[in-house]
Amino acid sequence: MEALLTSMGVVALAEIGDKTQLLAFVLAARFKKPLPIIAAIFCATIVNHGLAGAVGAWITSTLTPETLRWVVGLSFIGMAIWTMIPDKIEEEETQIANHLGVFGATLVTFFLAEMGDKTQIATVAMAAHFPSPVMVVIGTTLGMLIADVPAVFVGDRFSNKIPMKIVHSIAAAMFAAMGVLALLQVDTWIK
């Protein structure tokens, strides 16, 4: 349950103001059909984060516990720094696959935008950190939906009222704390 809740909370916060949330705003404004957009975001995220979770699990099986601790800890600290850098959406990302319809265009553009994005990298790190990568993927997918579904329904009016700097600072602090805790092996002190 810890993997699910932590992954969900971290990704929901990290996604606010992220490139893929901005993409959700743009797609909603362009197509004005929220249900196929939300369904495509869900499908793209499941596939993308499922792959990231598999990479995290593979990393866990190939690295020694000591090396894994350093990789995960430094990855979380890197994510904290990256979270403080605001994302901007590229116009060509919204132009991809217009002939595929609302669902297809959203699926393709959202999947591609999420490749190498901070929430995908965070999914890899959390899947390597927690013993249940499946719960991490479920949590990160729910976190994406928590942040992106309101973006689809409310659009730019809502985004202008969110204090992005505070949200990014909270997400960065969570990533940094997880990194420091991993590096200090705090979980071994508790047992």
Q: 110-149 pLDDT, tens per residue?
A: 888 888 778 888 899 889 889 899 999 999 999 999 999 9
User: What's the whole-number mean pLDDT along residues 64-71?
Assistant: 79
Write the single-letter amino acid at 63: L
Higher pLDDT, 1 or 75: 1
Q: 143-170 pLDDT, tens per residue?
A: 999 999 988 887 645 555 656 577 667 7
pLDDT of residue 43: 96
Of 7-11, 62-66, 160-164, 187-191, highest mean pLDDT: 7-11
